[in-house]
Amino acid sequence: MLWSKLFIPTLRENPAEAEVASHRLLLRAGYIRQLSAGIYNYLFLAQRSILKITNIVRQEMDAIGAQEFYLPALNPSEVWKESGRWDVMGDNMFRLKDRFGRDLCLGMTHEEVMTSIARGEVRSYKQLPQIWYQIQVKFRDEPRPKSGLLRTRQFTMKDSYSFDMDAAGLDVSYEKHRQAYCCIFDRCGLRYMTVEADSGAMGGSQSHEFMVESEAGEDYVVHCPATGYAANLEKAVSRAVAPAMADPEGDLTPEEFHTPGFKTIDEVSAFTKLPASSQMKSLVMVGDGKPVLALLRGDHQLSETKLAGVMGAAEVRAALPAEIQDWFGAAPGSLGPIGIPIKMRIVLDKALEGRRNMICGANKDDFHLRNVTPGKDFKADYHELRQVAAGDTSVDTGDPLQIVKTVEIGHIFKLGYKYSKAMGLSVLDESGKENTVIMGSYGIGVERILCAAVELFHDGNGMSLPASIAPFTVVVTPVNVKDAALAEAAQKLYTECKAAGMDAVLDDRDERPGVKFKDAELVGIPWRITVGKKLAQGIVEVVERRTGKLTEVPVGEAVGFVLAAL
RNA sequence: CGGGCUGUGGCGCAGCCUGGUAGCGCGCUUGCUUGGGGUGCAAGAGGUCGCGAGUUCGAAUCUCGCCAGCCCGACCA
C-alpha cells in the first residue's frame, strides 16, 4: 500500500482528553476517533491491527477444536429472564423495545443465547463435549467509560462456551482454553500473568484471569516473584506482618475504659499508646440483607469479596449508621463483639487466631474494652477475610509479595450448572438418564490486547507494536521521492517485501524525511527500510522500531534481513 | 450517582476577572524553496465562541438552566 493514498490522520500534539498512554497514542497515531463517551470509531490502522489479533485468536481457538459461531447482538428479553439476569444486570444493560412494545436488549455476553441453542439441539451424551465461540460485539452501559479503548460501552469480545457431561470433562475444556489463551497472548507479543481469580459466590469452582501489568489498569494482582504465586487481590492470601507489639500475658478479664471522642483506630491507638495491631476492628456489614459483624486486626483491611464468599452472599455492603445504631445501640467507633443487643453472626479474620487481651469497642458510646480474647470472651469463627497489604509475604514460603496494577485481557471461568439448570439444558447419558450439562465460559477482550500492547510497548516517539499485531510489518521510506533513483529503489524493495509475504507500506509521500520517520515511529511499525544517500554505494538502512538499532545492509539483502528478524 | 475540571476553525490553546468588530501556534490550500529527524518564505480558506433563556444600547465575556466530554470516587456479569 502507498502511504500517500492512505487515511492515517496523525496528530502532532497530544489530544487534551487522553491521559493514559494507549488512549493518547491510539488517537495521535490515527488509529481511533471518539464518537461518544465509551464509543469509538476504529479507523484503518486500528481495524488492521484488530484483524490481525482476531486471526490469531481464531487460529488458536480452532486448534483446540472450538467451533466459530456468530450470534445476534440484539437479544429478546425472554432468555435473559429465564436465567434471571434480566434483573441482575440492572443499568449495565442497554435495553430497548421493538415496535410492538416487546423488550429487547443488546447482549453483554452470550451464556443465555448459547445455552438456548444447546438445549434445543443437543440431546445425547454422544454429542458432548462441545466448545462454541464467536468474535463479536458486546454492549455494556458502563457507569464510567474511561481510558480510551480500555473501558468502553461497545467492544469486541471473543467469548466461548464449553458443554460437558461432568466435572472431569469441564476440567479438560478449561485446560484447553488455558493453554489456547497462553498461545494467543504469546503470539500477540504480550508479557502477561495468569492469576487465580475470584469465582464468585454462585457455584463457580475455578477461575483464572490473564493480566498485563500496567499503570492504566484497574485490577490489582498479588504476585510472588520467588514462588510464582499470582492471584487477584480480591482472592489473594498472604502471611501478615507480625503485630507491632506482643499481647499482654495471662487470662485477663475484659474491662471497660472511657475513650471520650476517640472513635477511629488511629485515635484509640494514640489515646491508649498501643499500636493499631493491638486492636480489633469491628465492621458491620450487610450481606444479601443479613447483618454480620466482621472483626479484623486494627491495621488490616476487609476484603468484601472474601466476606461475601464466607456468607454465601451475592452482594455485601457496609451497614448504614442508622442500622448500626438500631442493632448495637451505639455509634460506629465504639462497636465490638461483646454484648450486642441482637443476635448477629460474628466472623473473625484468621490473623486474629491466637491473639488475646486485645482492645475493641464496648457497644457503648465513648467506651472501649481492653483484655478481650476471641474464643474465651466470645465465640470465635475464623475465616480468611483480610485483604493482602503491602509488606505481606507468601503463605507458603514467607517470600515477599508484590502488589501490581494490571489490565485484564482474558478470563476463563468454570460456570458449573448455573445456566444449564436455570434454562433446562440436559442430555441423556449412556443409561438413558437425564444429565444436566456442565458449562464453562471464556472471554478475551480483543481491543484490550491492542491497548495492553501499546501500554507495554511505547516510548516518547510513539508506540512500538509487536510485529504480529502491528498494522504493517515494515515501511519502506525513500528519503526523497523526487530523486528518481531513490524512488525506484524503494518501489522495488516494497515489491520484494510484498512478494516475501510481509505486510508492507511504501511511504511515497512528498514529505521531508523527518516527517516520515516521525509518523512511522508514532504508528509503531516494527521495521523500517530507509533508502537514502548510501544507495549510490548499494546500501540501505534497516531500522528496528523497538530498539532504534540501525543496520546498513546491501539493497539486495534488506528484505531477507527483516524476514530473518521476524 | 457524589466530587472536581473543561467546552472558542481539524488539533493544541489565549481572550472571559474589568462587556464594545474573535486571536495565536500547528495542520489545511496555492506558489516558490528545502531534501537524513515535524525545512523556510509568501498568499489564502476555514469559527452562529457547546445549546437555550435572561441582564444590557451591546454578551465568547455577566446570570440562570440544560447538554456534552475528561479525571477522582462509587460501580464493574
**d(CA A543, C1' B27) / Å:** 28
**CATH 3.40.50.800 location in chain A:** 474-565
Q: Which of residues 159-178 of A touch strand B (CB under 7 A)?
A: none
Smallest CA–C1' distance to B77, residue: A89
Cα–Cα distance measured from residue A12 to residue A461, given in angstroms and rounded to the nearest whole number: 11
Q: Is 1.10.260.40 the CATH classification of the domain at A255-384?
A: no
Measured between alpha carbons, how far is A32 from A49 in angstroms, rounded to an integer? 11
pLDDT of residue A200: 61
Residue count of chain A, please give it.
566
Using CA atoms of A334, A338, A344, A350 in order, give the dihedral in degrees to the nearest 10. Answer: 90
CA dist., res. A507 & res. A516, Å (int): 7
A17-236+404-454: CATH, from 3.10.580.10, 3.40.50.970, 1.10.287.1120, 3.30.930.10 = 3.30.930.10
CA dihedral for A346, A347, A352, A353, sign (positive or negative): positive
Residues β-bridged to residue A517:
none
Distance CA A142, CA A92 (A): 6
**A444 in helix, strand or coil?**
strand
Which of the nucleotides in strand B have any atom less than 7 Å away from a protein CB atom? 1, 6, 11-13, 25-27, 34-39, 68-77
Q: Distance between CA atoms of A446 and A188, rounded to whole angstroms?
A: 11
- Which pLDDT belongs to residue A319? 85
DSSP A99-141: TT--EEEE-S--HHHHHHHHHHH--BGGG--EEEEEEEEEE--
For A366, left (φ over 0), alpha (ψ -120 to 50), or beta? left
User: From the Cβ of A503, is strand B under 7 Å away?
Assistant: no
Q: Give me the pLDDT at residue A204, please.
A: 63
Closest-lying nucleotide for A532 based on CA to C1' = B36
Q: Measured from the CB, is A10 under 7 Å from any atom of strand B?
A: yes
Q: Is the CB of A515 under 7 A from strand B?
A: yes
Q: Determine the Cα–Cα distance for residues A202 and A119; give it in Å rounded to an integer.
A: 22
What residue spans in chain A does CATH classification 3.90.960.10 cover? 255-384
In tens digits, what is the pLDDT along chain A, a chain of 566 residues? 999 999 999 999 999 889 899 999 999 999 999 999 999 999 999 999 999 999 999 999 999 999 999 999 999 999 999 999 999 898 999 999 999 999 999 999 999 999 999 999 999 999 999 999 999 999 999 989 999 999 999 999 999 999 999 999 999 999 999 999 999 999 999 999 999 998 765 556 789 999 999 999 999 999 999 999 999 998 899 999 999 999 999 999 999 999 998 888 888 999 999 999 999 999 998 888 888 999 999 999 898 888 888 888 777 888 888 888 889 888 888 899 998 988 899 999 999 999 999 999 999 999 999 999 999 999 999 999 999 988 899 999 999 999 999 999 999 999 999 999 999 999 999 999 999 999 999 999 999 999 999 999 999 999 999 999 999 999 999 999 999 999 999 999 999 999 999 999 999 999 999 999 999 999 999 999 999 999 999 999 999 999 999 999 999 999 999 999 99
Verify if strand B has an atom below 7 Å from the CB of A294: no
Query: What was the pLDDT predicted at A382?
Result: 95
Determine whether the distance from the CB of A38 to the nearest atom of strand B is below 7 Å.
yes
Domain A474-565 grouped into CATH 3.40.50.800: yes
CATH 3.30.930.10 residue window(s) in chain A: 17-236+404-454
For residue A461, say whether its CB is under 7 Å from any atom of strand B: yes
d(CA A446, CA A333): 47
A524 touches strand B (CB under 7 A): no
- Residue numbers 305-334 of A with CB closer than 7 A to any atom of strand B: 315, 317
C1’ B49 / CA A92, Å: 36
| The predicted structure's pLDDT at residue A88 | 87
Which residues from the 404-423 window of protein chain A have CB within 7 angstroms of nucleic acid chain B?
411
Decide: CB of A108 under 7 A of nucleic strand B.
Answer: yes
Secondary structure string (H, E, C) spanning A307-346: HHHHHCCCCEEECCHHHHHHHHCCCCCCCCCCCCCCCCEE
Q: Is the CB of A23 under 7 A from strand B?
A: yes
| CB proximity A522–strand B (7 Å threshold) | yes
**In whole angstroms, what separates CA A272 from the centre of its chain?**
43
Is the Cβ–Cβ distance between A368 and A271 less than 8 Å?
A: no
Q: A198 by DSSP, 3-state: which?
A: coil
* DSSP character at residue A393: B
Q: Does the CB of A536 fall within 7 Å of any strand B atom?
A: no
A20 touches strand B (CB under 7 A): yes
